[in-house]
Chain A
Amino acid sequence: NAGVTQTPKFHILKTGQSMTLQCAQDMNHGYLSWYRQDPGMGLRRIHYSVAAGITDKGEVPDGYNVSRSNTEDFPLRLESAAPSQTSVYFCASSYGDEKLFFGSGTQLSVL
């Protein structure tokens, strides 16, 4: 099992551009979530999903969209990137209320 796979590892965007951060898990976990990590603020949840077809907003959802068409994949889309979205993004999964498994992170810079 690969666990939680995030791509890309690094990316630079210009303001107004769009992109999709990919997250895939092969552990048959129902729960998938996206977090952003900013200095001094720790991890903040953006969106999450408890099962395919179900998504919900986290603490900081504005400017981000997600979809969950199957169990494995949970892409995070930035439609019109802003400099405030410069951050490190983590995807995490779990089986029910068990421990979270994290991807390796995506470092995103918006210029």
Chain B
Amino acid sequence: SQELEQSPQSLIVQEGKNLTINCTSSKTLYGLYWYKQKYGEGLIFLMMLQKGGEEKSHEKITAKLDEKKQQSSLHITASQPSHAGIYLCGADSNAGKSTFGDGTTLTVKP
């Protein structure tokens, strides 16, 4: 089965600092999703990556999928308190199954 390893498990940054969250798979990823979990709102879909080397940005959040399609990173520039939450990666395998990372808890200190 495909396992997704997310790192770090938790992160505390000062407001204004940049940060990166990683999601690594032992197998090729056929679809990689990034979500943000907000209590009471469930999971908020951030971005989806499919092609090796693909990069997408939304506001101050950038997600990349490496050329081998086994690792993705989520980068936040100039973090704000509104970025705080739990970030989760999820992936499709070529067998049509999905799996999820354990999540990264982000705290942004004002």
Contact = CB atoms under 8 A, between A and B. Distances in A.
A39 B102 CA distance: 21
Contact of B100 (A33, A39, A44, A102): A102
A31 B88 CA distance: 17
Contact of B43 (A40, A41, A43, A105): A43
A96 interface: yes
Interface residues of A, number: 22
Contacts of A35: 42-43
Nearest to A40: B48
Contacts of A107: 96
A45 B43 contact: yes
Interface string B69-110: 000000000000000001010101000111010110100000
Interface of B, helix, strand, loop or mixed by DSSP: strand
Contacts, number: 48
Nearest to B47: A42
Interface string A1-21: 000000000000000000000
A99 B105 contact: yes
A100 B98 contact: no
A8 B24 CA distance: 29
A37 B105 CA distance: 23
Interface of B: 31, 33, 35, 37, 39, 42-43, 45, 48, 86, 88, 90, 92, 96-98, 100, 102-103, 105
Given A41-B45, A99-B103, 13 more contacts: A35-B43, A40-B31, A40-B48, A42-B35, A42-B48, A43-B33, A43-B43, A44-B45, A45-B43, A99-B86, A99-B102, A100-B100, A105-B98
Closest 10 CB pairs of A and B: A97-B39, A45-B42, A42-B45, A99-B103, A42-B33, A43-B43, A102-B100, A99-B86, A33-B42, A37-B98
